[in-house]
């Protein structure tokens, strides 16, 4: 960003008065352009004992499998965004229940927050959208664990199959940090209904 969207004046990078972080600021009209984390919303679409995965047609991690998810758009709620992404990437219609919110991941290194919702497939009609090569249902023992695109997706899937055995699906939040070798460290920091949870 070089020029102000409001007055076309030059943008500088400095700490505004009363702030403690570097910001992009316009010297002419005093507007501050804040940069904040992005929300990525998606679903874990299931049907009986199977879950629906999409094989990515785009970088990053092209060719690997993921859950349908993407950036929230302005003007939509998190769950509307998750339904939209599920339709766009998997051509699938799903039903959200009142307890659908499932996993939340904080990724401070890359300024993202992920939200996944459990969502039952409304029908077995689905087809790959432009961002997917293939869309397919998998039982737990069929999941291509070595070919899952993202650590947040792998964690959500493993959690889901564990929870499914108990038929109990608490909402869990994880902090994800990356080592210099880009290895994800995923730490559970909150779990609904667990008063004994003392990891925080």
Residue of 43, 58, 47, 67 whose CA lies nearest to 133: 58
CB closer to Zn ion, 28 vs 80: 28
Nearest approach, Cβ of 22 to Zn ion (angstroms)?
18
Question: Binding to Zn ion by residue 1, rule CB under 5 A?
Answer: no
CB closer to Zn ion, 7 vs 133: 7
CB closer to Zn ion, 7 vs 97: 7
How far is the C-alpha of 20 from the C-alpha of 46, rounded, in Å? 45
Question: Binding to Zn ion by residue 6, rule CB under 5 A?
Answer: yes
Site size for Zn ion (CB under 5 A): 7
Stretch that binds Zn ion, among 8-16, 67-75, 84-92, 108-116 (CB under 5 A): 8-16
Question: Binding to Zn ion by residue 4, rule CB under 5 A?
Answer: yes
Stretch that binds Zn ion, among 1-9, 79-87, 92-100, 137-145 (CB under 5 A): 1-9
Question: Binding to Zn ion by residue 14, rule CB under 5 A?
Answer: no
How far is the C-alpha of 150 from the C-alpha of 152, rounded, in Å? 5
Instruction: Pick the binder of Zn ion from 29, 58, 97, 124 (CB under 5 A).
Output: 29
CB closer to Zn ion, 17 vs 98: 17
Stretch that binds Zn ion, among 7-15, 55-63, 85-93, 192-200 (CB under 5 A): 7-15
Question: Binding to Zn ion by residue 32, rule CB under 5 A?
Answer: no
Binding footprint of Zn ion on the chain (CB under 5 A):
4, 6-7, 9, 26, 28-29
């Amino acid at each position: 960003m070089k020029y102000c969207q409001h007055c076309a004046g030059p943008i500088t990078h400095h700490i505004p008065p009363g702030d403690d972080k570097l910001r992009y600021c316009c010297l002419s009209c005093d507007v501050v352009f804040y940069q904040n984390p992005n929300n990525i919303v998606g679903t874990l679409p299931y049907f009986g004992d199977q879950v629906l995965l999409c094989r990515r047609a785009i970088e990053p991690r092209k060719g690997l499998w993921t859950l349908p998810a993407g950036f929230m758009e302005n003007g939509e709620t998190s769950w509307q965004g998750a339904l939209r992404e599920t339709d766009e990437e998997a051509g699938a219609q799903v039903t959200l229940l009142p307890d659908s919110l499932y996993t939340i991941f904080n990724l401070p290194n890359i300024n993202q927050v992920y939200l996944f919702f459990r969502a039952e497939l409304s029908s077995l009609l689905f087809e790959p959208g432009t961002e997917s090569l293939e869309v397919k249902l998998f039982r737990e023992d069929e999941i291509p664990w070595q070919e899952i695109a993202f650590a947040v997706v792998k964690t959500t899937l493993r959690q889901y199959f564990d929870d499914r055995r108990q038929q109990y699906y608490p909402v869990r939040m994880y902090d994800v940090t990356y080592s210099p070798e880009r290895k994800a460290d995923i730490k559970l920091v909150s779990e609904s209904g667990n008063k004994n949870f003392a990891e925080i």
